[in-house]
Amino acid sequence: MSRLTVKRMVSTRIPTEEGDFQLLLYSNNHDQKEHLALVMGDIRGKNDVLVRLHSECFTGDVLGSRRCDCGEQLHQAMQLIAEAGAGAVIYLRQEGRGIGLLDKLRAYNLQDEGYDTVDANLLLGHQADERDYTVAARILEDLGVKSISLLTNNPDKIEHLNDLGIRVKERVELEPVIYADNFNYLLTKVQRMNHLLNLDPVSIPARHAKNVSI
């Protein structure tokens, strides 16, 4: 298979509550999806650029669903980038950890029957996480960053990016807002997917422990 390549198609100004960004749309030679980069400031040739790899989540990003922490992670990342004055969100079109929206919603129904997010994916014939970060690495190369500070709680992203030739200088934690509806989801991330989250009830700030019964 040929090396995955990306092509920048357009860039336009996007004013948001967090600040003004440039939104870049990329095509690639691997799939028909339109992956995106939301960029603030001058990051070309810079070290330790604040970066978030964010996989599309319609329910969380658009609807504000409390079944996950995706939408909150996206806006927290945008806020941190705005405070730093520069950085990028790489927005990857790989819904539901890569299984697509249809099976993601089917997985939600299985979770309501008592299965966790990992077993729900497996029951539908998928891997626990089918995401690929090659497109993200190629976009970061196009943006010309020398090294990044990665906004993530998922150590697998760091490993994958390093394997793809992207130098990750440090990990920057994203603190989740915890609800009754997403606590088991977050707990599964910690226990079965090695995410670096502190869900000890003693350490959960009162402002985040909303309607949680632990």
pLDDT digits (tens, 9 = 90+) for 33-64: 999 999 999 999 999 999 999 999 999 999 99
Residue 194: exposed, middle, or buried by beta-carbon count in 10 A (0-12, 13-18, 19+)? exposed
Name the residue with tokens 């029951």: 123
Taking a C-beta distance cutoff of 8 angstroms, is the pair 50, 87 a contact? yes
- Topology, domain 1-94+132-174: Rossmann fold (3.40.50)
* Catalytic center residues: 129, 131
Mean pLDDT of 104-132: 95
Name the residue with tokens 């697509």: 100
Tell me what pLDDT residue 200 has: 62
Residue 31 has pLDDT above 60, yes or no: yes
Burial 114-141 (b: 16+ CB within 10 A, else e): ebbbbbbbeeeebebbebbbbbbbbbbe
Mean pLDDT of 166-192: 91
The predicted model scores a pTM of: 0.89
Q: Where is 79: in which H helix or E strand?
A: helix 70-84
Tell me what pLDDT residue 213 has: 40
